[in-house]
Amino acid sequence: MSLADARLIGSRLIAAYGADAPDPAFGGGLRMLPTPRVIARQPAEELRARIGLTGARARTVLAVAELFADLGDTENLPGRAMLGAAYGVGPWTMDYMAARAGTDADAFPVGDAVLRRVLAARGAADPVVAAEDWRPWRSYAASRLWAAA
């Protein structure tokens, strides 16, 4: 899935199920991302129709939403094994979420197309080999590379 696809899905989820921001200081019309519980309550067919997801993506969104809804507050983030057990979640998703959420300073989604492109432009033939030099802080390196793209 591309970043553009993810942004489109996110904006559609917000439009369909998001709530208005509670603080008027944010300005009128600002909507928040729906909670995992709100998303988890939606039937897969509704996600397909309202959000434009394929059947597989709807199953993945629901599986991850249910996982987070079951965990409760954001201090109980799922570990890799728990996240990886959700339908449709693979190594890239686990590493990407760990890097972005700050739960693993060494997470590095080697399959990420943008990271591969930026590293190739800098002469790195293999992103796995290039990223070894950045251990144990590869997620920070990934953030810098994404920013440089």
What amino acid is encoded at 124 in this protein? Answer: A
4 and 46 within one domain? yes
Q: What is the pLDDT of residue 101?
A: 80
Predicted local distance difference test score (pLDDT) of residue 103: 81
Are residues 95 and 34 part of one domain? no
Question: What angle do the packed helices 55-71 and 44-51 form, to 10 degrees?
Answer: 120
Residue 44's alpha-carbon distances to 48, 92, 142, in angstroms, are 6, 23, 33
- Which residue ranges of the chain lie beneath pLDDT 50? none
Q: Which distant-in-sequence residues (6+ apart) come within 8 Å of 95 by Cβ?
A: 104, 107, 108, 109, 110
- pLDDT for the residue 80: 76
Dihedral sign for Cα 38, 65, 88, 99, please: positive
**pTM value?**
0.78
CATH code of 15's domain: 1.10.340.30
